[in-house]
Amino acid sequence: MGHEELLARHRAVMPDWMALYYDRPIELASASGRRVTDREGRTYLDFFAGILTNAVGYDVAEISDAIRSQLDTGVLHSSTLYLIRSQVELAEKIAELSGIPDAKVFFTNSGTEANETALMLATQFRRSDQVLALRNSYHGRAFATVAITGNRGWSASSLSPVKVSWVHGGYRFRSPFKDLSDADYVKACVADLREVIETTTAGDVACMIAEPIQGVGGFSSPPDGLFAAFKEVLDEYGILFVSDEVQTGWGRTGEHFWGIDAHGVTPDAMTFAKGLGNGLAIGGVVARGDLMDCLTAHSLSTFGGNPISTTGALATLNYLLDHDLQANAAKLGDRLIGGLRSIAADRPVVGDVRGKGLMVGVELVGADGAPDPAKAVAVLEGARERGLLVGKGGLYGNVIRLAPPMTVTEDEVEEALGILEDVL
């Protein structure tokens, strides 16, 4: 069965709002390393990694063997009502890596569910339904996480279980403060935060939640140190700080293991998902013990922390650490960003090249500097035609997102740069 027939069946039974890439959507049938092959036999270099989820690539023996060993036991599921050895071992490792004092971990099935859990913890702990979020943010597709998503293209409903106030800082390229120096940009955003608290809240806010690098928002980020400055203000009011590490975790930014580490601050909680499972469904929250333990009602997760996902995630995390993929992300991320900036130098269609490590955004603009989403679509399609898969995002849909598996090689980065130079 070819792509056209499957597409017709897809459209008949799947919702209209479920997005598909490309004029002719493709089905991925097999994969190895950093390359995927579609059902019609075309092979591509994958520089989006299932939206940053296939963090170490495809068909990795150490991970596949670990999953098979768990399958061989016959125990695919037991629920969190029973002890799960791989869940405990994974939680111990994440708690240690988090740097959060007396940390405890709760596992979920996705980043959306992780952020929903963090919101529930913070609002219960502070006995407040007020939340601070950043403009241009994305935190998930469930009821509360849609409410704290500062991007109209992904906000399916205006209804909300929390009261949200919006703060400047995450998207610098089109910020009213964009022409300021780093230090003055931070000062302006801190002043905005203080004013937002004083004018739009009752003061007893539950938490601020923020992505260190905004993912769906086009891999945009503030200067290092902004969130440390924010936390000084938050601490004055007793407001908790939650770092959404769903896309920035596990060393992908290169310079740090967690995205928030670039700001020199320890959050009260962090959420995670995506790359930890290398394709398996897993997410979670790591938080201060008193915050994690604040719920007084019974709770569990039927599938969160299940033996298959936690076994695979533990193997993935060990592989990341044993092979120092954070260092690879730093080295090849520098080459990718530097190469793109060289390409952009004589191409006015590129308004901005930004990112850290293997999280790179290329913002495309028209002659007047306005967002040009049509050009992003053209680059997306042109790259696919030449054998490269990339992502697309940004508030205006005009940003190409590059996030290859962290095992990407120098030759593969050069191959991608050659294709992107040709397309641009």
pLDDT digits (tens, 9 = 90+) for 396-406: 999 999 999 99
Question: 228 and 313 share a domain?
Answer: yes
Question: 308 and 163 share a domain?
Answer: yes
Q: Where are the alpha helices (DSSP H) in 223-288?
A: 226-237
* AA letter at 80: T
The per-residue pLDDT of the chain, averaged, comes to 97
Question: 154 and 270 share a domain?
Answer: yes
Question: 260 and 366 share a domain?
Answer: no
Question: 372 and 261 share a domain?
Answer: no
Range of the domain at 196: 65-322
Question: 74 and 221 share a domain?
Answer: yes
pLDDT digits (tens, 9 = 90+) for 2-15: 899 999 999 999 99
Mean pLDDT of 402-420: 98
So what's the pLDDT on residue 2?
87
* Domain count along the chain: 2
pLDDT digits (tens, 9 = 90+) for 341-360: 999 999 999 999 999 999 99
pLDDT digits (tens, 9 = 90+) for 207-264: 999 999 999 999 999 999 999 999 999 999 999 999 999 999 999 999 999 999 999 9
Q: What CATH number is attached to the domain comprising 217?
A: 3.40.640.10
* Block residue for tokens 């260092």: 327
- φ/ψ of residue 376, rounded to 5: -65, -40
Please choose, from the candidates 340, 402, 397, the residue with its C-alpha nearest in 3D space to the C-alpha of residue 371: 397
Q: In what order do the strands lie in the sheet with 103-108?
A: 103-108, 283-288, 269-272, 240-244, 207-210, 130-134, 163-167
What are the C-alpha distances in Å from 175 to residues 111, 181, 237, 321? 27, 13, 26, 37
Question: 195 and 307 share a domain?
Answer: yes
Question: 43 and 84 share a domain?
Answer: no
pLDDT digits (tens, 9 = 90+) for 355-392: 999 999 999 999 999 999 999 999 999 999 999 999 99
- The residue out of 322, 347, 375 marking a domain boundary is 322
pLDDT digits (tens, 9 = 90+) for 93-124: 999 999 999 999 999 999 999 999 999 999 99
pLDDT at 50 exceeding the cut of 70: yes
- The residue out of 322, 356, 385 marking a domain boundary is 322
- The residue out of 288, 322, 356 marking a domain boundary is 322
pLDDT digits (tens, 9 = 90+) for 130-178: 999 999 999 999 999 999 999 999 998 889 999 999 999 999 999 999 9
Question: 385 and 298 share a domain?
Answer: no
pTM: 0.97
